[in-house]
Structure 1
Amino acid sequence: MANIKSAIKRVDINEKKRVLNQSKKSEMRSAIKNVEKLVEANDVENAKVALKNTIKQIDKAVQKGLIQQNSGNRQKSRLTKKVNNLGA
């Protein structure tokens, strides 16, 4: 454990950020699973609405540094492809 006051503060801040990042990442993953579930159920309208919200969450996660740019783009691309194939 850290002895210096500033190092102790840093440990506290890092723990708070870790918990916050973890919850945001979990929300994003849940949103992705929700879109995939709607695609499985062939629910086109709700899937499109859910996709829009999910893309927003993925973009925010990339912006905050929770996931890498390529990873976010790949997830968005795959989800969009699945939703677009429903309409065809």
Structure 2
Amino acid sequence: MANHKSALKRIRSNEAKRLRNRYQNKTTRTFVKRLKNTTDKAEAQELLKKVIGMIDKLSKNNIIHKNKAAHQKSQLTKFVAAL
């Protein structure tokens, strides 16, 4: 167990950040699945803008690696273009 006040606070803040990161990552994955299941091109293009913004935010906050973000955006853009 932590012996210092600052260590206890760090444990609390780390848990809060972990839950927030987990929520944002899961929400993004849900939107990616929703985009993949879309058959309407116009709807997919609108959803793509939102999903790319979410992926960029995850990358900026180091929740996912920047190369993974670039790869996901590339694949999703290719998918929407093929519709």
TM-score normalised by the chain length of structure 2? 0.96
| Percent of pairs with identical residues | 40
Which blocks of at least 5 consecutive residues in structure 2 are unaligned?
A: none
The answer for the alignment partner of 2:35 in structure 1 is 35
1:7-58 deviations in Å (ceiling 9; x for gaps):
11100000000000000111111111111010xxx21110110001000000
TM-score normalised by the chain length of structure 1? 0.91
Aligned length: 83
Query: What letter matches 1:20 in structure 2?
Result: R
**Root-mean-square deviation over aligned CA pairs:** 0.6
The answer for the alignment partner of 1:69 in structure 2 is 66
Provide the C-alpha distance between the structure 2 equivalents of 1:22 and 1:83, rounded to a whole number of angstroms: 26
Query: What letter matches 2:69 in structure 1?
Result: G
1:1-88 alignment to 2 at 5 Å? 1-38=1-38, 42-86=39-83
Provide the C-alpha distance between the structure 1 equivalents of 2:56 and 2:5, rounded to a whole number of angstroms: 36
Which blocks of at least 5 consecutive residues in structure 1 are unaligned?
A: none
Query: What letter matches 2:24 in structure 1?
Result: K
Deviation at 1:4, TM superposition (A): 1.1
SS at match of 1:2: coil
- Which segments of structure 1 move beyond 4 Å, counting only runs of 4 or more? none
SS at match of 2:13: helix
Query: What letter matches 1:77 in structure 2?
Result: S
Provide the C-alpha distance between the structure 2 equivalents of 1:13 and 1:82, rounded to a whole number of angstroms: 38
